[in-house]
Amino acid sequence: MTQGAAPPISAPLCSADLDARALLARADAENFPVAPRWLPRGLRDDLLAIYGFARFVDEAGDTAPGDRLALLDEIEADLDRAALDAAQYPLVQRLAPALRDGRLPLAPFRRLVEANRCDQRVARYASWDDLLEYCKLSANPVGELVLHAAGAATPERVALSDSVCTALQVFEHCQDVAEDRANGRVYLPAEDLARFGVRDADLAACPAPESLRTVVALQVARSRALLASALPLVGSLRGGARVAVAGYAAGGFAAADALQRTDFDPSAGAPRARRRDMVRHGFAVLWRSRRGTPS
């Protein structure tokens, strides 16, 4: 791409641009602390920029009016403009310094866009393995970007991070079964739903039937096993990155606790992690990552 004036974003899509401040404000409502204020300013700015872009592209794929695939194409094109310091969307503009300086690679951001293209075309996933493939696009790039922002991205750490991020994504799917169903999507593997006799109407039933709770419990157990990769990952990190990643993992363990407290029934609204549980698991992850024992 050559330097020059960026082509204007097409008028019908301008109205789909989302309020940057409102999306960034959601960081405090996540299962885990996205960018704690005690982190170094530069790292915190990069983490908020990563989070803001991920939220923006998710909203573009979930709620934007009009042609969402065209909007996603516009957002991906704006990533290229950001590397030239010419992005037009506010939440893409925030990435410009890190992209221009090479602190963050473009490829993981492109995979996040592709995940939302998949959401326009795929409404259900046949198997656990199929869901894992989707998480390679929708969740794992975020962890890879966090490691790059911390200057700690190695192939070994990225592989461990992939397992952690997949677990966090599946916990969210388990929390949001009814909401996803209302949006025309089902992320629980179809083969598991069939195996336990879950009907489509059961996904929106309140309270959830035992069959659906069993499927949710199965996904939580699988994800807890993946989340164990947080221990060697956290153990390999230092400084603020070590504590931040322990916090992300703690949010996952606390989310699993929240689902278990409801007997794996997400129908009354997404059961959210408690702060005290996140703190408890955070200390446990930091301690046990040094000792090499599971949380």
Could you tell me the residue range of the domain that residue 272 belongs to? 124-295
What's the pTM value of the predicted model, to 2 decimals?
0.87
Residues 249 and 217 in one domain: yes
- Of 93, 121, 149, the residue at which a domain comes to its end is 121
pLDDT digits (tens, 9 = 90+) for 29-80: 555 566 667 788 888 889 999 999 999 999 899 888 889 999 999 999 999 9
* 186 DSSP 8-state letter: B
Residues 130 and 103 in one domain: no
Question: Is 1 within the bounds of a domain?
Answer: no
Tell me what pLDDT residue 44 has: 87
Residues 237 and 164 in one domain: yes
Residues 105 and 243 in one domain: no
Tell me what pLDDT residue 71 has: 93
Residues 161 and 60 in one domain: no
Tell me what pLDDT residue 157 has: 97
Residues 108 and 90 in one domain: yes
Question: Is 91 within the bounds of a domain?
Answer: yes
Q: Can you list the residues of the chain whose pLDDT is less than 50? A: 1-17, 27, 293-295
* 104 DSSP 8-state letter: S
85: left (phi over 0), alpha (psi -120 to 50) or beta: left
Residues 115 and 130 in one domain: no
DSSP letters for 113-164:
HHHHHHHHH--B-SSHHHHHHHHHHHTHHHHHHHHHHTT---HHHHHHHHHH
Residues 74 and 133 in one domain: no
- Of 82, 105, 121, the residue at which a domain comes to its end is 121
